[in-house]
């Protein structure tokens, strides 16, 4: 069984922000699988489905970004999910909007949601897809840039990133992370 997690913040005010690219990707997968994430467990919204012939749990932690690891740890322990079958999807300012990068493992890169997951799981050995959101023009704009409203002209680029992330997830489930990294990075 695979655990596919989109990171984001749960309140409605964050729905259409750059920080919720992970949630947006999970929503696209759920729509494609004709399901809704309505089940609640361990501080998360989730649902089971089959993607590329694999059993999958789609998860959106409701703990806020910085505590994502709390929810994920409980799912991993309860369902006995191996780290190599965990896939985390999240926003990344070091990647241009519309682009993605898949990784097999690695550090947090300064992302607080990933820091929380690494800390709670005790490992960096899980796959991830980073969705590009670009950088603000000045450093003091950083928080507002990530959790503020997205300008209309940028929405289509960010949507392309989530669409690529969905394709990458399907490729990972079909052929593995190494092939997906070669195809999408």
Catalytic residue numbers? Answer: 19
Residue whose pair of structure tokens reads 């690529």 in the numeric block: 164
Q: Exposed, middle or buried: residue 72 (CB in 10 Å: 0-12, 13-18, 19+)?
A: buried
Among the listed residues 17, 14, 9, 12, the one whose alpha carbon sits nearest the alpha carbon of residue 155: 17
Q: Exposed, middle or buried: residue 149 (CB in 10 Å: 0-12, 13-18, 19+)?
A: exposed
Number of other residues whose CB lies within 10 A of the CB of residue 46: 22
Residue whose pair of structure tokens reads 């820091």 in the numeric block: 115
What contacts 162, CB < 8 A, 6 or more positions away?
Answer: 21, 24, 25, 28, 131
């Amino acid at each position: 069984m695979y655990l596919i997690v989109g990171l984001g913040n749960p309140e409605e005010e964050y729905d259409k922000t750059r920080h919720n690219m992970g949630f947006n990707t999970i929503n696209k997968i759920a729509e494609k699988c004709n399901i809704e994430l309505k089940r609640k467990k361990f501080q998360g919204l989730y649902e089971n489905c089959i993607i590329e012939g694999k059993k999958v749990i789609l998860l959106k932690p409701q703990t806020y970004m910085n505590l994502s690891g709390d929810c994920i740890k409980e799912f991993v322990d309860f369902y006995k999910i191996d780290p190599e079958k965990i896939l985390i999807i999240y926003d990344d300012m070091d990647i241009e909007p519309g682009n993605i990068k898949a990784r097999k493992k690695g550090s947090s890169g300064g992302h607080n949601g990933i820091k929380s997951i690494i800390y709670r799981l005790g490992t960096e050995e899980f796959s991830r897809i980073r969705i590009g959101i670009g950088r603000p023009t000045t450093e003091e704009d950083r928080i507002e840039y990530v959790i503020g409203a997205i300008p209309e002209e940028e929405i289509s680029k960010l949507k392309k990133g989530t669409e690529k992330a969905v394709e990458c997830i399907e490729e990972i489930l079909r052929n593995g992370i190494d092939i997906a990294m070669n195809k999408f990075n």
